[in-house]
Amino acid sequence: MKRETRIALLGLLVPLAILGLWQGAALLQKTPLFPGPAKVTLAIWSNYPVILRELGVTLLRAAMGFGLAAVTMIPLGICLGRVRILGRVLEPLMDMLATLPPPAIIPLVMLFAGTGDWAKVVIIAYAAAVPLLMNTYEASHSIHPMLSRVARSLHLSRIETMRLIDWPSSLPMIATGARLAIASSLLVSVTSEMLLATNGIGTYLQRSQETFKIDAGLAGIAFISLAGILVNAGVLRLEKKWLFWHYRDQRPTE
């Protein structure tokens, strides 16, 4: 068989070995507080309806937070990129906020807004806002000067230029920001549910710990991972589909 496939298959030995070691350690420990992969698989099978329901809540909030960040930060980023002075002066603030991780603002938001849905959505929006704003700003103020020359030579109005030239050419970088923001949204959604427990998969994990159902908790983690993989793969697929012209080969065909 092809070398590629052979490596892909042999590579499976690594995770399998890890699973084997894990199972071995679990058997040695002999306590329900240390379940092996077998027990976790059983837990997945018996708990997946609940897990999926809770995961749905988490994903919905993540989407809302991301949406809120997108509609506010993308226009803002474009503005800051265009009005040079404003952008440059506020850059230190953006850099500072970039070093403030989303979990750190959770206690503050809890003070303001309690532990409900809106509190979590605000936290998620903050997490998504940082990469979105920074990437949009970067894209907006680093548009190649040649493009603006082309726009002017084609007699485009200011608005036409922004719509037909600036926007498409900024999209790749904005898309990268969106991809990071989406991953962040998912992450922070789970984290916010763990710290501000009401519902969602994060709360499910906390409850599992409290009721000593470690196998269920690990099952939950497995689903979180799966959701993350699927969402990321989906986003990448969309990116490649709409922005194919950015990921191009430079092969001449003359």
Partner 1 sequence: MTGILTASDVGKSYGNGVARMAIIEGLNLSIAKGEFVSLVGPSGCGKTTLLMCLSGLLAPNVGMVGFKGQTVTAPPIGLSVVFQDYSRSLLPWKTNLDNVLFGMRRVTGMDAPQKKARALEILEAVGLTGFAGHYPWQVSGGMQQRVAIARGIASQSELLLLDEPLAAVDAQTRADMQDLLLDLAKRFDQTCVLVTHDVEEAVYMADRVLVLGPRPTRVVREIVVDLPKPRDQISTREAPAFLRARHEVMELIRSMRQGKALS
Partner 2 sequence: MTIGLLAEKFRVPICIALVLGGWQIIFALGVVNEKYFPSILTIASAFWQMLTDGVVISAWATTFLRALIGLIGAALLGVALAILSDLSPVLSRGIRYVSDVLQPIPPAAFVPMAVFMLGLGTKLYAFVIILVTVWPPYLNGVAALAGVGQVQLNTGRMFGLTDWGLLWRVKLPAALPEIFTGIRYAATLSLIAVIVSEMLAGRDGIGFMIFKKAFAMRTPEVFGLMFLVAINGVLLNGLVNLLRRGLTGWHIRMMERPE
Interface positions with partner 2 (CB under 8 A): 7-8, 10-15, 18, 33-34, 84-85, 88-93, 96-97, 99-108, 110-112, 183, 186-188, 190-191, 194-195, 202, 205-206, 208-209, 212, 214, 217-218, 220-221, 224-225, 227-229, 232
CA distance 227 to 129: 21
Q: 194: number of CA atoms within 13 Å, CB side?
A: 15
Residue 45 found at the interface with partner 1 (CB under 8 A): no
Tell me the C-alpha distance between 96 and 100, whole Å. Answer: 7
The distance of closest approach from Cβ of residue 162 to partner 1 in the complex, given in angstroms and rounded to an integer, is 14
Tell me the two tokens of residue 85: 């002075």
Q: Which does 168 bind (CB under 5 to 8 A by kind): partner 1, partner 2, none?
A: partner 1
Q: Which residues of 157-191 are buried (b: 16+ CB within 10 A; e: fewer)?
A: eeeebbeebbeebbbbbbbbbbbbbbbbbbbbbbb
CB atoms inside a 10 Å sphere around CB 198:
15
- In this complex, which beta carbon is closest to partner 2, that of residue 46 or of residue 209? 209
DSSP3 helix / strand / coil % (the chain, rounded to 5): 85, 0, 15
Q: Comparing C-alpha atoms, which of 127, 108, 110 is closest to residue 62?
A: 127
Q: How far is the CB of 53 from partner 1 (least distance, A)?
A: 41
Instruction: Report the residue number, 1 or 104, with the smaller CB distance to partner 2.
Output: 104
Residue 162 touching partner 1 (CB under 8 A): no
Nearer to partner 2, 151 or 200 (CB): 200
The whole-angstrom distance between residue 110's C-alpha and the CA centroid of its chain comes to: 22
* Stretch of 58-66, 98-106, 124-132, 245-253 contacting partner 1, by CB under 8 A: 245-253
149 binds partner 1 (CB under 8 A): yes
Distance CA 224, CA 117 (A): 19
Distance of alpha carbon 220 from alpha carbon 217, whole angstroms: 5
Is there a contact between 132 and 98 (Cβ–Cβ < 8 Å)?
Answer: no
Tell me how many degrees the CA angle 149-152-154 measures, rounded to the nearest 5: 110
Minimum Å distance from CB 209 to partner 2? 4
Rounded least distance, CB 149 to partner 2, Å: 18
Q: Which does 37 bind (CB under 5 to 8 A by kind): partner 2, partner 1, none?
A: none
Q: Which is nearer to partner 1, 53 or 152 (CB)?
A: 152
Q: Which of 7, 12, 146, 159 binds partner 1 (CB under 8 A)?
A: 146
- Considering the rule CB under 8 A, would residue 147 count as an interface residue with partner 1? yes
Task: Using CB under 8 A, list all residues that contact partner 1.
Answer: 144, 146-147, 149-150, 152-156, 164-165, 168-169, 245-246, 248-254
